[in-house]
């Protein structure tokens, strides 16, 4: 018989005294040592045969014990001045969760805490301040340069439609300020080693931001943008990203609001077929030779939308000639007069953003914008080989919304447009 299978008593080791009636006799010291030796030999033999190593049980979390202790410590004092025992239980539970509960619960706990008792605001503010201070100590501002450009692009591509302005500028002008009006110094905020926000103030004064849901970073972005040598004239980005930044700029008197629009975001998958429409005008791509006809229509569009003319005629001409050479402008002509326009205003990979959709007032409600948009969609798919288009329009602009939705565009969010 193998030694590891022998009973300890076969070695002559037994209990060190006689058993007591009705009770099991305690095991002798030598017997325990022998049993442990046998267990060691069995373990060594099984590992030699390649048997998997037994997994140790994971240590139990101490969070339940901590929660219980904090709750009891808070509950007893609350019972002396709470209106009822139920209120004491509820308030003590919320304070406990606010102080030592999981971080992802805090946005849910804080409103209830403040609503139940005035003292809850102090606890909520203390928790928020603690979380912010912890984050700030692990936060740093970084310049986006060639060495971290791929990381910045990957961050923006998590929400490609909402980040198209930033992605397009990176693609066209790079991450640093250049002579072009639409170039700028790209900056990011790194927290715990990861990029959590990216923004860029262009030479023309447009501050483009992408914060995701991190509105707590708005103050840091405003401070960094103010330190740039270019004046800030506007803010663009997803509504939840751009609105907090704009509010901070206006609150301290740094900017005076002229245009503040909550735009509806639309997108269109170009894989589906686009039904052609009957031609109501001569619709085609525009070229550099069309600038003299394009200029007054563009100025009318900017005046109607409330945008100030931030650039000179020569600068607008240079920008139009460059983008039209890429096939990014379309127009409709009647009697050799340009009456309607639309353009690709941002491009990254196979995604494009449409803008400057405009028809002169006296030629509206005749299907001209539909004809221009249909030509743009077809050319984007068949000529430029794009996969998706997106655009935004004022949520109060019912005719534009009806046009885009009839062309197959789907709503998916909001965009902030502030000047």
Please check whether residue 208 is in contact with residue 156, taking contact to mean a CB–CB distance below 8 angstroms. no
Please check whether residue 172 is in contact with residue 352, taking contact to mean a CB–CB distance below 8 angstroms. no
Q: Is the pLDDT of residue 264 over 80?
A: yes
Quick one: average pLDDT of 83-112? 65
Choice between 339 and 67, residue whose per-residue pLDDT is larger:
339
Structure tokens belonging to residue 33: 């040592």
Residue 179 backbone dihedrals phi, psi, to 5 degrees: -70, -20
Give Cα separations from 194 to 135, 152, 190, 215 (angstroms).
12, 10, 5, 16
Q: What is the pLDDT of residue 160?
A: 92
Res. 46 pLDDT band, cuts 50 70 90: low
Domains of the chain by start residue, with CATH: 3-48 (no CATH), 63-137 (no CATH), 139-257 (3.40.630.30), 269-418 (3.40.630.30)
Choice between 189 and 212, residue whose per-residue pLDDT is larger:
189
Return d(Cα 219, Cα 244) in angstroms, integer: 8
Please check whether residue 269 is in contact with residue 407, taking contact to mean a CB–CB distance below 8 angstroms. no
Structure tokens belonging to residue 151: 């990381």
DSSP letter assigned to residue 57: P
Could you give the 3-state DSSP secondary structure of residue 333?
strand
Q: What are the tens digits of pLDDT across the range 268-303?
A: 999 876 666 666 779 999 999 999 999 999 999 988
Q: What is the pLDDT of residue 168?
A: 94
> In this structure, is the dihedral angle defined by the CA atoms of residues 142, 143, 146 and 151, taken in order, positive or negative?
positive
Choice between 22 and 276, residue whose per-residue pLDDT is larger:
276
Listed residue (375, 351, 158) closest to 268, CA to CA: 351
Quick one: average pLDDT of 80-101? 65
Return d(Cα 400, Cα 410) in angstroms, integer: 13
Choice between 129 and 100, residue whose per-residue pLDDT is larger:
100
Q: What are the tens digits of pLDDT across the range 59-87?
A: 555 556 655 665 556 556 665 555 566 66
Quick one: average pLDDT of 50-65? 54
Cα 343 to chain centroid, rounded: 26
Tokens 């003299």 belong to residue: 292
DSSP letter assigned to residue 229: S
Q: What is the pLDDT of residue 342?
A: 97
Q: Characterize 332-356 residue by residue with b for buried, 16 or more Cβ atoms within 10 angstroms of its Cβ, and e for exposed.
A: bbeeeebbbbbbbbbbbeebbbbbb
Q: What are the tens digits of pLDDT across the range 189-204?
A: 999 889 999 999 999 8
Instruction: Quote the strand ranges of 99-252, DSSP E.
Output: 139-143, 184-191, 194-202, 206-210, 234-238
Q: What are the tens digits of pLDDT across the range 342-367?
A: 999 999 999 999 999 999 999 999 99
Tokens 């990029």 belong to residue: 195
Q: What is the pLDDT of residue 97?
A: 67
Listed residue (267, 251, 257, 199) closest to 227, CA to CA: 199
**Window from 98-112, 266-280, 298-312 with minimum mean pLDDT:** 98-112
């Amino acid at each position: 018989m193998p030694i590891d299978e022998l009973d300890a008593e076969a070695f002559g080791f037994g209990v060190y005294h006689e058993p007591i009636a009705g009770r099991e006799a305690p095991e002798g010291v030598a017997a325990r040592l022998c049993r442990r030796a046998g267990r060691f030999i069995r373990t060594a033999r099984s590992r030699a045969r390649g048997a998997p190593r037994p997994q140790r049980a994971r240590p139990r979390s101490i969070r339940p014990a901590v929660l219980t202790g904090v709750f009891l410590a808070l509950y007893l004092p609350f019972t002396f001045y709470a209106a009822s025992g139920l209120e004491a239980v509820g308030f003590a539970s919320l304070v406990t969760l606010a102080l030592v509960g999981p971080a992802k619960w805090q946005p849910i706990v804080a409103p209830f805490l403040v609503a139940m008792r005035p003292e809850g605001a102090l606890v909520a503010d203390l928790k928020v301040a603690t979380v912010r201070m912890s984050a700030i100590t692990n936060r740093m501002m970084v310049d986006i340069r060639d060495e971290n450009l791929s990381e910045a692009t990957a961050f923006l591509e998590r929400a490609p439609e909402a980040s198209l302005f930033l992605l397009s500028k990176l693609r066209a002008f790079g991450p640093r300020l250049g002579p072009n009006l639409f170039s700028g110094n790209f900056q990011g905020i790194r927290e715990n080693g990861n990029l959590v926000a990216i923004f860029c103030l262009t030479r023309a004064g447009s501050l483009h931001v992408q914060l995701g849901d991190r509105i707590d970073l708005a103050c840091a972005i405003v401070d960094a943008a103010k330190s740039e040598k270019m004046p800030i004239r506007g803010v663009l980005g997803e509504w939840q990203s751009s609105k907090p930044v704009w509010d901070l700029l206006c609150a301290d008197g740094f900017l005076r609001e002229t245009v503040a629009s909550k735009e509806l975001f639309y997108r269109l998958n170009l894989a589906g077929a686009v039904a052609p429409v009957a031609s109501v005008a001569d619709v085609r791509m525009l070229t550099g030779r069309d600038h003299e006809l394009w200029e007054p229509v563009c100025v009318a569009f900017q005046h109607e939308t409330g945008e100030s003319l931030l650039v000179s005629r020569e600068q607008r001409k240079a920008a139009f000639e460059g983008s039209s050479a890429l096939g990014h402008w379309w127009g409709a002509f009647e009697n050799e007069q340009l009456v309607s326009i639309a353009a690709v205003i941002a491009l990254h990979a196979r995604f494009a953003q449409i803008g400057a959709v405009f028809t002169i007032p006296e030629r509206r409600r005749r299907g001209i914008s539909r004809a221009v948009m249909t030509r743009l969609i077809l050319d984007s798919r068949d000529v430029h080989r794009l996969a998706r288009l997106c655009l935004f329009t004022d949520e109060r602009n019912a005719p534009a919304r009806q046009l885009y939705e009839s062309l197959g565009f789907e709503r998916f969010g909001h965009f902030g447009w502030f000047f």
